[in-house]
Structure 1
Amino acid sequence: MRRRLILSTLAVVLVVVAVFGISLVIVESRTIENSTKENVRSEAARLVSTVESRVVAKEKVTPESIGIASTPHRYIRVELPDRKPIEVGDRLEGDVVEARQTGATGERVIVQEARSTVRAEVGRNLLIILAVAVLAIIAAAILAVRQAHRVAAPLTDLAETAERLGSGDPRPRHRRYGVPELDRVADVLDASADRIGRMLTAERRLAADASHQLRTPLTALSMRLEEIIATADTDDPQDRATVKEEATIGLAQVERLTDVVERLLTNSRDPRSGSAVSFDLDEVVKQQIEEWKPAYRSAGRALVRSGKTGLRAVGTPGAVAQVLATLIENALMHGDGTVALRTRVTGNQVVVEVTDEGPGVDPELGSRVFERTVSGHNSTGLGLAVARDWAEADGGRLELLQQLPPVFALFLSREAADVQSA
């Protein structure tokens, strides 16, 4: 931008100098030429008058008596009746400025001036005009550089401030530049930085407080479940196995929730931190089926899985489990019939599809089901939106592949070694 300002200013100055300079040269050239012609005519008229007066008075006519001095580039000839002409200077050839005057008694005066003197005078004036133009251009360049620096430096500083604000550093800089428009932009950026800083602080404090408050009851619940497993000593082996199985599933749920809480707490401290690892996708899918089978059994429905096994994905197991839990719960609450989890591979990604035999997604909603507060069943509309956020945080994505029957797909990165072996 600085270069553009300098070039534009210099371009304007050059145009102005060129227009006025050329006009001035033309006017000055004509003025000098007219002045030379007028001087020659005046000299001729003076000499005629002087010679005539001396002839009438019968005085001697000589170059000294009529005031003729020899000058370079000028020729004067005085012709008198019955006398020898008086000549001063060398006779000029070529382009000359000439004036002729004839007196009442028959005398005649010829005055010639070489046009080279006119050109020499025009050249001197042209040099002066060029010198003034060069000085004007130099002064304009200096002023353009200073003005461009005055404008461009604050803009660069404001761009750095906006970049810092976008990168997560909302500290206001409180810099002003003496230019009302730029100072207004700086005021807006500082006010935005203050608001964003307060919002980020409030959100991180909320996440930290929620995480801290949730960890204590989750720890206590975990201890109680471990105690249940340790003291499950009923006489009926089947009941004892059921207690241990339910307690084990509950403990797995607590561990998953603890992982979610820890991740929330970590993100509240540093939003750029991540915990993606390589994990066995079968274990997560199996754990979710075992967790939700009792609920489906109570509703008289089935929860099954199919597709390719032995897949390893890259992500956060707790987050992936949370996304699948949201999809399975939505199928239970809003779907119908058998719910199927199918795993497959596409390119360098693994896909987990969740589908049911219900009425599907309202055609008017389409992919808007992932937007917050958008719901077709009078729910909060947060579940799928949060699930998509969790998926994207792990470098994956959550999509609606088909509306009827509904098919939701979770795409995850495939482990590099698994891709190479395939």
Structure 2
Amino acid sequence: MRRRLINSTLAVVLVVVALFCVPLALVEKSSIESNAQDQVTSEALHLLGVVENRLVAGERIESEALSGLTSQNAQRYAVVTVPGQPTITLGDRPAGDDPVSATETGAHGEQVTVQESREPLNREVRNMLLLLTLVALLSILAAALLAVWQARRLARPLTELAETAERLGSGDPRPRQRRYGVVELDRIAEVLDASADRIGRMLTAERRLAADASHQLRTPLTALSMRLEEIAETDDLVTVKEEAAIALVQVERLTDVVQRLLTNSRDQRNTSAATAFELDDVIKQQAEEWRSVLTRAGRTLHLEGPPGLRALGTSGAVAQVLAALIENSLMHGDGAVTIRTRVRDTSVVLEVQDEGAGVSSELGARVFERAVSGHNSTGIGLAVARDLAEADGGRLELLSQKPPVFALFLGRQGG
């Protein structure tokens, strides 16, 4: 591209120089020749006038009387012819076969011929041509420098834009926010920056989905693995059927978890699918799954609250939020875990509390931020739980730091 820009610029300049210098050289050459001819003609007329005046005065025409008239230019040569008198020559005959010559004839038959060597004229023409050539060369040099500068000025942004596109292709979506003062190039830069923003958001969403999936699928897969181990270790057909039924429920939960993760990753916060469901069923299901895990850890699980509460939302999302809260208490808390339900105004509140040290004052409300954890964990569980709650039309809050009490607020049927 640089070579094309330089070549095209130089080609244009060469054409302009040729169209300008050649006619100018011809005009200047003609002007110089015309000026030389006019000077010789003027001197011939002047000399003829002097001769006529002397003839009218009756004076004899002698070379001594006319010799001073051509002394201003030693290269001029004059021949004066007067009828009845000897021919008078002034100066030296110019060298060359084609001198600049002018002949004038007077009223009494007298004739004056003035000649001048063409060498001064040719020298002036050469000087003019050298000057024009120098101007043309300087113009071409300036055009070449300008073409190189312009080529670099246009090629550098294109190189940077190509590097930006290459970085986008290699997975580095950071926008450069560079502009170059050229409308077309700035438009390309804006499009690439916008693409970088979109790609960055997509990559962030993909990484977030992968982290959320890894965290959210771990517990259901562990529970399913436990059921399959029970099936593999027993020969009792009734137990096999019971465990298989529970395993199928776990598979349905896995499917629902995956669907929820995909929906949440696309940020589809749509509560139009929210329906009334029995909150007790969700609590019972999670209590059965986690009670044995808590028992193995030497801890207990308590359920409190009025029965028969119906909340607005989706049972699958509430089950995932409750599982995340119980797992958080198991990993970071201590003592008994209490699942409590209550009614507050138009909301149904589902609380999870344990007897541990609670949330430190440094964390506070930041406990719901991603990658924020006080115990070297991933810091994903509570963040995903809050996202799921908000996507389902509810909200998840930390009601108390010591003892730790997390509360899920859901809409109440008829509230």
Q: TM-score, length-normalised on structure 1?
A: 0.53
Given the superposition, is the C-alpha separation of residues 64 and 128 from structure 1 closer, same or farther in structure 2, using an over 3 Å criterion?
farther
Q: Which residue of 1 aligns with 2:123?
A: 120
* Distance of 1:201 and 1:111 partners within structure 2: 97
Question: What displacement does 1:21 show?
Answer: 0.9
In the other structure, the counterpart of 1:325 is none
C-alpha distance after superposition, 1:322-352 (max 9, x if no partner): xxxxxxxxxxxxxxxxxxxxxxxxxxxxxxx
> For residue 326 of structure 2, what is the aligned residue in structure 1?
none
Q: Give unpaired runs (5+ residues) of structure 2.
A: 266-415
Residues paired across the two proteins, number: 249
Distance 1:99 1:228, change over 3 A: same
Residue 169 of structure 2 corresponds to residue 166 of structure 1:
yes
Number of the residue aligned with 2:47: 47
Structure 1: gaps of 5 or more residues: 269-422
Q: Does residue 1:71 correspond to 2:65, yes or no? A: no
Alignment of 1:54-65 (within 5 A): 54-63=54-63, 65=65
- Change in Cα spacing, 1:157 to 1:49, as seen in structure 2 (3 Å) is same
Residue 36 of structure 1 corresponds to which residue in structure 2?
Answer: 36
Equivalences for 1:284-363 in 2 at 5 Å? none
**DSSP 3-state at the match of 2:226:** helix
Determine if contact 1:25/1:126 at 8 Å carries over to the other structure.
yes
- Listed one character per residue, the Cα deviations across residues 360-392 of structure 1 (whole Å, up to 9, x for unaligned) are xxxxxxxxxxxxxxxxxxxxxxxxxxxxxxxxx
Partner AA of 1:123 in structure 2: R
Question: Are 1:208 and 2:207 counterparts?
Answer: no
Q: Please report how far the alpha carbon of residue 72 of structure 1 lies from its aligned counterpart in structure 2 after TM superposition.
A: 4.6
Alpha-carbon contact 2:70-2:76 (below 8 Å) kept: no
What residue is the counterpart of 2:222 in the other structure? Answer: 219
Instruction: After superposition, give the CA deviation of every residue in 1:8-42 in whole Å (9 maximum; x if it has no partner).
Output: 11111111111211111111111122222222222
**1:71, 1:89 within 8 Å by CA — same for their partners in 2?**
no
Tell me which residue corresponds to 1:399. Answer: none
Output the CA distance in 2 between the equivalents of 1:8 and 1:219: 71
Q: CA RMSD in A?
A: 3.2
Write the letter of the residue equivalent to 1:58: G
Q: Which residue of 2 aligns with 1:99?
A: 102
Change (3 A) 1:21 1:221: same
Deviation, structure 1 residue 207 = 3.2
Distance between the aligned counterparts of 1:179 and 1:63, measured in 2?
Answer: 78
Match of 2:3 in 1: 3
Task: Report percent identity of matched pairs.
Answer: 63
Q: Secondary structure of 2:70's partner?
A: coil
CA shift digits 1:109-144 (9 cap, x unpaired): 111223333322211100010111111111112222
Say which of 168, 190, 200 aligns to 1:187.
190
Distance in 2, Cα, partners of 1:62 & 1:106:
17
Separation in 1, partners of 2:72, 2:90:
6
Q: Which amino acid aligns with 1:200?
A: L
Can you list the C-alpha shifts for 1:198-230, whole angstroms capped at 9, x where unaligned? 122123312331232122211221122112222
- State the match for 1:81 in structure 2: 83
1:23 is aligned to: 23
1:33-74 C-alpha deviation (Å, 9 max, x unpaired): 222222222211111111110122133544564422173543
User: Which protein shows a greater Rg?
Assistant: 2
1:200 is paired with a residue whose SS is: helix
Q: Is the 8 A contact 1:41 1:100 kept in 2?
A: yes
Letter in 1 for 2:188: V
Question: C-alpha displacement at 1:5, in angstroms?
Answer: 1.4
SS at match of 1:110: strand
